[in-house]
Chain A
Amino acid sequence: MHPTFSVIFLTTLIGVGQGLFLALFTEQSYASVNLLPGQPGAFYVTGSLIALAFLLGGLVAAIGHLGKPSYMVTRAWRGITQWRTSWLSRELILLPLVMFLIFLYLLFHYLGWEANPFGTTGVSGQLTLILGGITTVMVFALFICTAMIYASVRFLQEWACALTVSNYILLGGASGFTLATAYAAWAAPELVGFYAGWAIIITVLGLLSRGLHLIRNARLKGKSTLQSAIGVRHNRIEQKAMGMMGGSYNTREYFHGKSAAFLKSIKWIFLLLLFPLPLLLLWAGMDGNKGMLLLAFIMQYVGLLFERWFFFAQANHPQNLYYQTI
């Protein structure tokens, strides 16, 4: 497939935002049972604000994927109607919903609403914990929707597997926790070790999942052949004309247009930027080195951009059989 930057930015930015929220709420739930020192509301407010900024960035990037930006106003609302069948529609519903819930989470912390609907059980901040719990479920649902948009297209065999879903969750989570580590270096230095630990664990899990996905895809065999595409049983079929000379949508949309060597180099770049380098920097920055941790996040995010580019470029659409540019 031809990688589009709007979708690359959309999926990576909202992944960071979702991951950062999960990191914030993980801290709050740990703190609620006194496993971690409790943080003032400002910690969650600023953190949620950063998460919202990333989600908003993703939403803006998504506009670039529409035919016209104006469709966002005039037509995109229809996207909520097909949730029964379309994962894209489900994502379109969940993304604003998650943003709204995170905004509420931010607002409740900002206003310091401390209602305890379950009474005085020793756990404080029950209102925000309930809200955060609901938001967490929705964040995971959003991860699944985003991934299923790709994993549900059975013709793109590179995408159509459960590893696509685990990749989106783990890589989004890893980038969010790495950002949380960097954020903690500024806002709550005592949490750096906690966040860095989780960021390392999730990044390693992400490496495992993405590595398995790469291995799986390397052994993938196309289900369709030129023989089944045109229905002629002969081992030697050669296309002589595509039906046009100057290219068409079919020759532009479904192929990355780069060489195999280019693709391979992108793979190694993302493997390096996404996993070992941030892991090293996270480990080195455990003592609260702000620059090191910020660099870890930036590196991982750039790696994520490469990873997403590769994810799209690697998918080989069966329609390419009719357009033998590949």
Chain B
Amino acid sequence: MTQLALVIDLNVCVGCHACVTSCKQWNTSGAAGPLFDDRPYGENPTGTFFNRVQTYEIGQFPNTETLHFPKSCLHCEDPPCVPVCPTGASYKRAEDGIVLVDYDKCIGCKYCSWACPYGAREFDEQQKVMKKCTLCVDRIYDETLPEAERKPACVLACPTSARLFGDVHDSESEVSVAIRENGGYPLMPEWGTKPSNHYLPRRKTRHKIHKDELLRVDNPLKKEDIRHEIRDNVSLDDWLM
């Protein structure tokens, strides 16, 4: 069974919002109709997005760290938003695990958005239906595109390659390896929704240097000193002298 998903590397994300704008551009231009935008140049612009980048500050000055956190639908393996839909508009595809909304069946009751702990679904105030990330389902299977471009718009747009896309059920896929080897984790595991999207944590590269690594014990330049001071507990170094 295939489960397509994104793996987002928080260690590399710089919070540039390129994934947000490319997502909006692609998904507002498709056959499903535009994504709502209200007062885009006004005082309080609002609209429907599938993807948002949030920013958090961890710790207290001066020990702070900035975390840029892209958030979109996690395409849960056990999606709580799907069974609650009264019309069957919300569904999870058996063939690739993508959670989708059929905009022609949705009655806009918003119940599915209540049943998502992540707030991944956004209501389209113009079309009056619920919308959410489609993993660019209209793009990833499009054979008129070169194979390298058959990926979600956000993945292609990311300048730091913080977003990986692939099948998390295939143990040898790029995403599975990244999750396995780089400590990939799901969001809010306490609810048992089994999100398919995973996040790779911020990682520090630390090198522990021990004192004896700075001071070479068998330094030949110290040869003479050692000869003069032979201690009681004679070591191999002394024998070598």
Q: A82-B86, A88-B86, A229-B187 are in contact. Are A241 and B55 (CB under 8 A)?
A: yes
Judge whether B52 is part of the interface by a CB distance below 8 angstroms: yes
**Cβ contacts B139-152/A at 8 Å (1 or 0 each):** 00000000000000
Binds A, one of B162-170, B188-196, B226-234: B188-196
A239 in contact with B54 (CB, 8 Å): yes
**Bound-complex Cα distance A88 to B88 (A):** 11
Judge whether A265 is part of the interface by a CB distance below 8 angstroms: no
Judge whether A119 is part of the interface by a CB distance below 8 angstroms: no
**Bound-complex Cα distance A88 to B128 (A):** 19
B107 in contact with A79 (CB, 8 Å): yes
Q: A78-B105, A85-B84 are in contact. Are A248 and B47 (CB under 8 A)?
A: yes
* Residues of chain B contacted by A88 (CB below 8 angstroms): 84-86, 109, 111
Judge whether A221 is part of the interface by a CB distance below 8 angstroms: no
**How far apart are B141's CB and chain A's nearest CB, in angstroms?**
26
B46 in contact with A231 (CB, 8 Å): no
Judge whether A267 is part of the interface by a CB distance below 8 angstroms: no
Contacts of B161-189 to chain A: CB distance below 8 A: 185-189
A250 in contact with B114 (CB, 8 Å): no
B49 in contact with A89 (CB, 8 Å): no
Judge whether A234 is part of the interface by a CB distance below 8 angstroms: yes
**How far apart are B35's CB and chain A's nearest CB, in angstroms?**
12
B119 in contact with A319 (CB, 8 Å): yes
B107 in contact with A254 (CB, 8 Å): no
A318 in contact with B106 (CB, 8 Å): no
Binds A, one of B26-34, B37-45, B205-213, B214-222: B37-45
**How far apart are A109's CB and chain B's nearest CB, in angstroms?**
33
How many residues in A have their beta carbons less than 8 Å from beta carbons of B? 55
Judge whether A237 is part of the interface by a CB distance below 8 angstroms: yes
B58 in contact with A237 (CB, 8 Å): yes
Q: Which of A224, A232, A236 contacts B67 (CB 8 A)?
A: A232
Judge whether A114 is part of the interface by a CB distance below 8 angstroms: no
**Bound-complex Cα distance A224 to B187 (A):** 10
**Bound-complex Cα distance A105 to B7 (A):** 59
**Bound-complex Cα distance A299 to B83 (A):** 38
Chain A residue with the shortest CB-CB distance to B87 = A78
**Cβ contacts A1-15/B at 8 Å (1 or 0 each):** 100000000000000
A231 in contact with B87 (CB, 8 Å): no
**How far apart are A227's CB and chain B's nearest CB, in angstroms?**
10
**Cβ contacts A288-326/B at 8 Å (1 or 0 each):** 000000000000000000000000000001111011000
* Residues of chain B contacted by A229 (CB below 8 angstroms): 187-188
* Residues of chain A contacted by B69 (CB below 8 angstroms): 230
Judge whether A161 is part of the interface by a CB distance below 8 angstroms: no
**Bound-complex Cα distance A92 to B88 (A):** 13
Contacts of A130-161 to chain B: CB distance below 8 A: 149, 152-156
**Cβ contacts A207-238/B at 8 Å (1 or 0 each):** 00000000000000001100011111010111
**Bound-complex Cα distance A89 to B48 (A):** 26
Q: Which of B39, B105, B122 contacts A248 (CB 8 A)?
A: B122
What are 14 contact pairs spanning A and B, CB under 8 A? A71-B108, A76-B87, A82-B86, A82-B87, A82-B88, A86-B111, A231-B201, A232-B58, A232-B202, A244-B46, A254-B119, A317-B119, A318-B188, A320-B119
